[in-house]
A and B are shown apart, each in its own frame.
Chain A
Amino acid sequence: MSGRTPARDEILGRVRSALAGVEPTHEPVLAPSAVHDPMPTHEQVVDLFAERVADYRAVVDRVAAADLPGHLAGLFAPTERVVVPPGLDGDLLAAVPTPVADAHPTGSGLTAADLDATDAVLTTATVGIAETGTIVLDHGPGQGRRALTLVPDRHVCVVRADQVVPDVPDAMAPLGGSIAAGRPLTWISGPSATSDIELTRVEGVHGPRTLHVVLVE
């Protein structure tokens, strides 16, 4: 249990005696970032992001901001049941023909079984990481509870070009803010995958089998 227990005191005691005489380091470790000469332009960083996301066999579309609603509207069939998280931008919401809202103020929105009966989910993201082709969701407005982007079979994720950073170290500051606010994070790099059977890569074991990233420039 939280609080002092014999186990807690004994373990901490063993740790202290094991480390008697060891000098602690109080300064956090700062890891190196890649140095490129010349440094890539933001445009090049965004290009790399698109390339690396596609590397994971995710679908990547690059669209101009003005074309976004029209483009999204073309992605969903009229009968497709698409989960929309609370706080999703009105423009995005308007592009979904058959939205399924998860809007209960108590948080007890769609059940897992409800989600299992949907076809897709549309969200935004918090950060895109170019080097690793990763999108990170902090599950704030427009991104929804974690289950929303897990159970449906297709995840369509809108990422703005200005959210794309070069590499993991550049993402730590913005994501640190989300963590400090108590939000969970989900780092997504391509659709789920396994290589457990004779090392043959199979996409889509438990998460969405299709990841569709719409990059808005």
Chain B
Amino acid sequence: MSRTFVGMPPFPSAAREALGDTQLRHNLAHATGVIRDKRARLVEEQGDLWEPLRLAGAAVKQRALDDLATHLEQLEASLTAAGATVHWARDAEEACRVVASVARSHGVDEVVKVKSMATAEIELNEHLEADGIAAWETDLAELIVQLGEDLPSHILVPAIHRNRAEIREIFLRRMAAVGRPAPVDLTDEPEVLAAAAREHLREKFLRAKVGVSGANFAVAETGTLVVVESEGNGRMCLTLPEVLVSVVGIEKVVPTFAELDPLLRLLPRSSTGERMNPYTSMWTGPAAPDGTADGPQEVHVVLLDNGRTRALADDTGRQALRCIRCSACLNVCPVYERTGGHAYGSVYPGPIGAILNPLLTGTGVDEQTDSLPYASTLCGACFEACPVRIDIPEVLVHLRSKVVDGHRGDRPPKAETVAMRAAGWAFADASRLGLVEKASGLSGRVLARLSRTTLPWGRPAAGRLPGPAAAWTGARDLPAPPAESFRGWWDRTDGGRAEGER
């Protein structure tokens, strides 16, 4: 498999391929099930506190976004006062250039990295590699993905599509070429595999001059960056190198230190299903109280736009920038559970990816992105799970209307084709997705009904479907979703292949 998402097939055909991969489907179902149960237990433990906590988390992030320019200027000022160097990057290219130039100015040919969605989004590793700088991923799953020359399939457990035997194979075959080899007697016990990764990476941590990270939060008031993690590789990257570069999306701002509170309570419970993740690091520039140095003495922060201001300008879509990348919405999504992350063709998979990618890149740019808002059944489970209450179904419906609007002049309308192909897939399982058809927004009759009734999860639908979508549906009487079962469809079409590129 190629290591880039560019040129990947749009969601429906990629989903068909993924559906055929039994191992992937099995692993994903297991993973999402386990994490879902752990999360559910902890949400229950929080009882009546959970809803107010979600509201508070949403309010903190919304408050940060609603006055983002002010908070960003404050963040810049407090970071600078703490001795950090602040860079601004309009796009991926600009951000990668900053990181590469910092690395080059120290004459290094390698950096150690802690897993970060932002650096994956800008394809930093590929960029650095082209510049002759090796970027070592240090998160165990990312290491597996990197050594396997593969793509991550899940925000939280990116290597969930690999089983232990495959991981052993990858370690034995690939570790020696890039550093300390795996022991020859390596077994496929998870403890043994983790110990091999510890030894392999420790060598890199101890000699690394430059570390690269993202940040889960950036506190405007104090200039404090926060990294939430499990394995300790983050602490290694943030502490041992002499130089640290952090690539931070501008939406990561939190106004005050105290307002981290609800987010720190929501994130681990929603993400890994733990009361608290093993390690959270907070640091404020290279500042050294009492004259003692602690950690990297040269600290750079790259504030990244790369489409975020485009998302910010969308009144309905803006809320997607509240996302704290917990992946709870992935774990509850019936579409994601069946297809896995690769089918979304982006570093942001699942329900959040279905809205975030079109919001960041804009609709009408490419077919892949335009198909994403249809990679959903609008069942509403993602909204219920989201710790910062992003109304993903609302944004999906909004984006569908934008996709459709953008393609109104096409003949035949490309988006419609895409939509119908997606629908053919998503609705094939009539038993599982029973409620869905009423809310899909893909049937003209249903769409018309929606605009004057309520959605199945009980919130009013009025006003959700702006003019252009109504016009589009008014012009065509679309077929209702098929009543055929998923298994029946699967058998009839040979796992979707027989339907071809209809």
Q: CB within 8 Å of B: which residues of A?
A: 1-2, 5, 7-8, 10-12, 14-19, 22-26, 28-34, 52, 55-56, 86, 105-108, 112-113, 116, 129, 131-134, 139-140, 145-147, 150-151, 167-169, 172-173, 175-176, 179-200, 202, 204-207
- The reply to whether A12 and B72 form a contact with Cβ atoms under 8 Å apart is yes
Least CB distance from B340 to A in Å reads 15
A189 in complex: contacting residue of B63, B191, B233, B275, CB < 8 Å: B275
A150: chain B residues at CB < 8 Å are 232, 235-236, 239-240
Jot down 28 A-B pairs with beta carbons below 8 A, ordered by A.
Answer: A1-B87, A2-B76, A2-B85, A7-B94, A12-B69, A24-B67, A31-B262, A32-B49, A52-B275, A131-B275, A132-B276, A145-B295, A146-B235, A147-B295, A168-B261, A168-B265, A179-B257, A179-B282, A182-B82, A185-B282, A189-B276, A192-B278, A192-B279, A196-B159, A199-B34, A205-B194, A206-B202, A206-B231
- The reply to whether A7 and B89 form a contact with Cβ atoms under 8 Å apart is yes
The 10 closest A-B pairs by CB, nearest first: A207-B232, A206-B232, A24-B67, A107-B293, A18-B313, A14-B309, A31-B262, A192-B232, A31-B56, A187-B280
Q: Is B4 an interface residue (CB 8 A)?
A: no
Whole-angstrom CA separation of A198 from B31 in the bound complex? 8
Residue on A nearest B225 in the bound complex, by CB: A184
A186: chain B residues at CB < 8 Å are 235, 279-282
B236: chain A residues at CB < 8 Å are 150, 206
Residue on B nearest A56 in the bound complex, by CB: B278
Q: Is B473 an interface residue (CB 8 A)?
A: no
B31 in complex: contacting residue of A172, A189, A199, CB < 8 Å: A199
Whole-angstrom CA separation of A1 from B88 in the bound complex? 8
Least CB distance from B54 to A in Å reads 10
Q: Give the dominant DSSP class at B's interface.
A: helix
Whole-angstrom CA separation of A30 from B211 in the bound complex? 35
- The reply to whether B276 and A133 form a contact with Cβ atoms under 8 Å apart is yes
- The reply to whether B88 and A7 form a contact with Cβ atoms under 8 Å apart is yes
B141: chain A residues at CB < 8 Å are 194, 196
Q: Is B105 an interface residue (CB 8 A)?
A: no
Whether A189 touches B66, Cβ cut-off 8 Å, given contacts A12-B72, A113-B206, A184-B294, is: no
- The reply to whether B201 and A206 form a contact with Cβ atoms under 8 Å apart is yes
B17: chain A residues at CB < 8 Å are none
Whole-angstrom CA separation of A105 from B232 in the bound complex? 27
B305: chain A residues at CB < 8 Å are 11, 14
Least CB distance from B111 to A in Å reads 16
Q: Is B272 an interface residue (CB 8 A)?
A: yes
Residue on B nearest A52 in the bound complex, by CB: B275
- The reply to whether B294 and A107 form a contact with Cβ atoms under 8 Å apart is yes
Whether A196 touches B144, Cβ cut-off 8 Å, given contacts A11-B250, A25-B66, A202-B194, is: yes
Q: Is B70 an interface residue (CB 8 A)?
A: yes
- What is the number of residues of chain B that contact chain A, defined by CB distance less than 8 Å? 105
Least CB distance from A183 to B in Å reads 6
Whole-angstrom CA separation of A186 from B281 in the bound complex? 5
A188: chain B residues at CB < 8 Å are 278-279
Whether A172 touches B261, Cβ cut-off 8 Å, given contacts A29-B63, A188-B279, A199-B30, is: yes
A173: chain B residues at CB < 8 Å are 258
- The reply to whether A189 and B274 form a contact with Cβ atoms under 8 Å apart is yes
Least CB distance from A54 to B in Å reads 13
- The reply to whether A32 and B239 form a contact with Cβ atoms under 8 Å apart is no
Whether A146 touches B295, Cβ cut-off 8 Å, given contacts A195-B157, A205-B198, A205-B232, is: yes
Whole-angstrom CA separation of A107 from B288 in the bound complex? 9
Least CB distance from B360 to A in Å reads 13
Least CB distance from B175 to A in Å reads 15
- The reply to whether A195 and B262 form a contact with Cβ atoms under 8 Å apart is no
- The reply to whether A8 and B289 form a contact with Cβ atoms under 8 Å apart is no
Residue on A nearest B83 in the bound complex, by CB: A182
Whole-angstrom CA separation of A194 from B232 in the bound complex? 9
18 A-B pairs besides A140-B289, A147-B240 with CB distance below 8 A are: A8-B76, A18-B312, A24-B66, A29-B262, A34-B49, A108-B293, A145-B293, A145-B295, A146-B239, A150-B239, A182-B284, A184-B295, A187-B264, A189-B274, A189-B277, A197-B159, A199-B35, A206-B202
Residue on A nearest B263 in the bound complex, by CB: A31
Least CB distance from B395 to A in Å reads 16
Whole-angstrom CA separation of A204 from B194 in the bound complex? 8
Of B159, B260, B275, chain A has the most CB atoms within 10 Å of the CB of: B275
A146: chain B residues at CB < 8 Å are 235, 238-239, 281, 294-295
- The reply to whether B278 and A207 form a contact with Cβ atoms under 8 Å apart is yes
Least CB distance from B309 to A in Å reads 4
- The reply to whether A15 and B312 form a contact with Cβ atoms under 8 Å apart is yes
Whole-angstrom CA separation of A105 from B290 in the bound complex? 10
- The reply to whether B53 and A31 form a contact with Cβ atoms under 8 Å apart is yes
A191: chain B residues at CB < 8 Å are 278
Whole-angstrom CA separation of A23 from B240 in the bound complex? 43
Whole-angstrom CA separation of A192 from B236 in the bound complex? 12
- The reply to whether A132 and B275 form a contact with Cβ atoms under 8 Å apart is yes
B198 in complex: contacting residue of A52, A168, A206, CB < 8 Å: A206
Q: Is B3 an interface residue (CB 8 A)?
A: no
Q: Is B90 an interface residue (CB 8 A)?
A: yes
B240 in complex: contacting residue of A105, A112, A200, CB < 8 Å: A112
B280: chain A residues at CB < 8 Å are 185-187
Whole-angstrom CA separation of A2 from B310 in the bound complex? 24
B90: chain A residues at CB < 8 Å are 7, 10-11
Whether A145 touches B31, Cβ cut-off 8 Å, given contacts A172-B258, A196-B144, is: no
Whether A194 touches B265, Cβ cut-off 8 Å, given contacts A150-B239, A207-B279, is: no
Least CB distance from A200 to B in Å reads 4
B53: chain A residues at CB < 8 Å are 31-32
Whole-angstrom CA separation of A125 from B293 in the bound complex? 19
A32: chain B residues at CB < 8 Å are 49, 52-53, 56
Of B94, B231, B292, chain A has the most CB atoms within 10 Å of the CB of: B292
- The reply to whether B66 and A22 form a contact with Cβ atoms under 8 Å apart is yes
- The reply to whether B235 and A139 form a contact with Cβ atoms under 8 Å apart is no
Q: Is B80 an interface residue (CB 8 A)?
A: yes
Whole-angstrom CA separation of A198 from B57 in the bound complex? 31
Residue on B nearest A9 in the bound complex, by CB: B88
Q: Is B493 an interface residue (CB 8 A)?
A: no
B72: chain A residues at CB < 8 Å are 11-12, 15
Q: Is B384 an interface residue (CB 8 A)?
A: no
Whether A19 touches B240, Cβ cut-off 8 Å, given contacts A11-B250, A186-B280, is: no
B138: chain A residues at CB < 8 Å are 206
- The reply to whether B88 and A192 form a contact with Cβ atoms under 8 Å apart is no
Of A105, A182, A202, chain B has the most CB atoms within 10 Å of the CB of: A182
